[in-house]
């Protein structure tokens, strides 16, 4: 059998921590030297990393617990409203209260719907909301484009003055607005009286302006060179690129129109023009102690707004997040 020659052993020199290397620089000790010294630095680093991991996990757990608690507290009123709407009137006022209905009574919704002209209330509110949202989007888009893209004398002063009007409480202008709409314009007990003052929405103008300013100006310059007018650029290019902001403005104003109560109370007097919030108050006064039916009616009233928010939630968050990128 052939014998395999053994490789010669090359001695390894022991380098002291302060010795110089071939190039004159200090030589870094090998990992084995660190371990041979007892491995204390490695163990300290491992302990610190483990401690930081534990703290990070504990912090995330506390944050999630707080968020979950807040979510449950926010959701509980909705759950209580729906649960009460499925109870009997006697169970709805029983003490101690029952968190789960003993018997489910979905017929409360049909009873509540038939007890008041809710179909008319919903129709009135839908008409006002559509006109409200459409007017705000059109006026705000035109004004926001002017403040974001055009140059004219006193632009910043006018824009600052518009923002300053947001500091004025709405109660201060309630009586002057009522006189203008009902006495001067003669629009008492009409649809237009309920939404005409809401069209000039300063916050919507500000939101769209900030979003418009985040879009590169080179895009507009190229469109103008190609013969595109400013008006066409706004409606054909700028607004389609600003869909998140437009949907945010539309959603916020839809909620305002749907929940409007005080102003319609002043400018309407007949059931034919009464919006849904006034109709719910009238139903509450007529229902008396029928809390199950009142909660059923409240669920019907709030349902469209919840659906609208869930559908537009993605665009709503994106529109709010991108308005502060520039400007």
Beta carbons of 203 and 209 less than 8 angstroms apart: no
Tokens coding 59: 């912090």
Calculate the CA dihedral of residues 138, 162, 125, 313 and round it to 10 degrees: 70
Burial label, 285 (beta-carbon count in 10 A; 0-12, 13-18, 19+): exposed
- In terms of Cβ atoms closer than 10 Å to its own Cβ (0-12, 13-18, 19+), residue 179 is exposed
30-72 pLDDT tens trace: 444 444 445 556 566 666 667 677 778 888 889 999 999 999 9
* Residues 87, 109 contacting (CB under 8 angstroms): no
Which three-class secondary structure state does DSSP give residue 326? Answer: coil
Residue 3 burial class via C-beta count within 10 angstroms: exposed 0-12, middle 13-18, buried 19 and up: exposed
Cα 310 to Cα 133: distance, rounded to the nearest angstrom = 18
Quick one: pLDDT at residue 316?
66
Q: Which numeric CATH code is attached to 115-322?
A: 1.10.3720.10
C-alpha to C-alpha distances, 98 to 85, 101, 128, nearest whole angstrom: 12, 6, 39
Report pLDDT for 171. 87
Which residues lie below 8 Å from residue 67, measured CB to CB, with a gap of 6+? none
Map tokens 């919840």 to a residue.
306
Closest CA to 206 of 158, 170, 243, 254: 158
Query: Measured between alpha carbons, how far is 131 from 291 in angstroms, rounded to an integer?
Result: 33
298 near 284, Cβ under 8 Å? no
- 72: which 2 tokens? 């449950």
Q: Are 130 and 123 in contact (CB under 8 A)?
A: no
Domains of the chain: which residue ranges?
115-322
Per DSSP, the three-state class of 11 is coil
Q: What is the pLDDT of residue 14?
A: 45
For the entire predicted model, the pTM comes to 0.75
Rounded CA-CA distance 123/118 in Å is 8
Task: Decide: 144 and 212 in contact? Cβ < 8 Å.
Answer: yes
Phi first, then psi: give them for residue 26, nearest 5 degrees.
-70, 150
308 within 8 A of 251, measured Cβ to Cβ? yes
Q: Is residue 188 a contact partner of residue 266, using CB atoms and an 8 Å limit?
A: no
Q: Which pair of tokens denotes residue 67?
A: 């968020």
Residues 6+ apart with CB under 8 A from 19: 26, 27
**Residuewise pLDDT in 10s, the chain (327 residues):** 444 444 444 444 444 444 444 455 554 554 444 444 455 565 666 666 676 777 788 888 899 999 999 999 989 999 999 999 999 888 888 888 888 898 899 999 999 998 889 999 999 999 999 999 999 999 999 999 999 988 888 889 999 999 999 998 888 999 999 999 999 999 999 999 999 999 989 999 999 999 999 888 888 889 888 888 888 999 889 998 888 889 989 999 999 999 999 999 999 988 889 999 999 998 888 877 788 999 999 999 999 988 888 887 776 666 666 655 444
- Are residues 253 and 201 in contact, defined by beta-carbon separation less than 8 angstroms? yes
Taking the C-alpha atoms of residue 88 and residue 292, their distance in angstroms, rounded to an integer, is 6
């Amino acid at each position: 059998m052939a014998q395999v020659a053994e490789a010669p052993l090359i001695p390894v020199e022991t380098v002291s921590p302060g010795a110089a290397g071939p190039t004159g620089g200090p030589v870094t000790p090998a990992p084995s030297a660190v371990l041979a010294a007892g491995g204390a630095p490695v163990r300290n680093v491992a302990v610190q990393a483990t401690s930081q991991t534990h703290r990070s996990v504990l912090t995330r757990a506390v944050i999630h617990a707080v968020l979950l608690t807040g979510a449950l507290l926010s959701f509980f009123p909705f759950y209580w409203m729906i649960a009460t709407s499925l109870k009997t009137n006697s169970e709805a006022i029983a003490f101690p209260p029952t968190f789960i209905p003993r018997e489910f009574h979905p017929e409360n919704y049909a009873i509540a719907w038939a007890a008041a002209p809710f179909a008319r209330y919903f129709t009135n509110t839908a008409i006002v909301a559509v006109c409200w949202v459409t007017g705000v989007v059109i006026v705000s888009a035109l004004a926001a484009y002017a403040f974001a893209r055009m140059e004219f004398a006193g632009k910043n002063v006018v824009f600052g003055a518009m923002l300053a009007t947001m500091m004025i409480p709405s109660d201060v202008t309630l009586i002057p607005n009522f006189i203008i709409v009902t006495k001067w314009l003669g629009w008492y007990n009409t649809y237009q009286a309920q939404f005409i003052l809401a069209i000039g929405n300063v916050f919507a103008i500000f939101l769209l302006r900030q979003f418009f300013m985040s879009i590169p100006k080179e895009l507009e310059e190229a469109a103008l060179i190609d013969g595109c007018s400013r008006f066409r650029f706004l409606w054909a290019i700028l607004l389609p690129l600003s869909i998140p902001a437009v949907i945010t403005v539309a959603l916020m104003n839809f909620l305002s129109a749907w929940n409007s109560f005080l102003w319609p109370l002043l400018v309407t007097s007949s059931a034919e023009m009464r919006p849904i919030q006034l109709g719910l108050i009238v139903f509450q006064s007529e229902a008396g102690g029928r809390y199950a039916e009142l909660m059923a009616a409240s669920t019907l009233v709030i349902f469209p707004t919840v659906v609208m928010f869930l559908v537009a939630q993605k665009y709503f968050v994106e529109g709010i997040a991108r308005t502060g990128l520039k400007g």
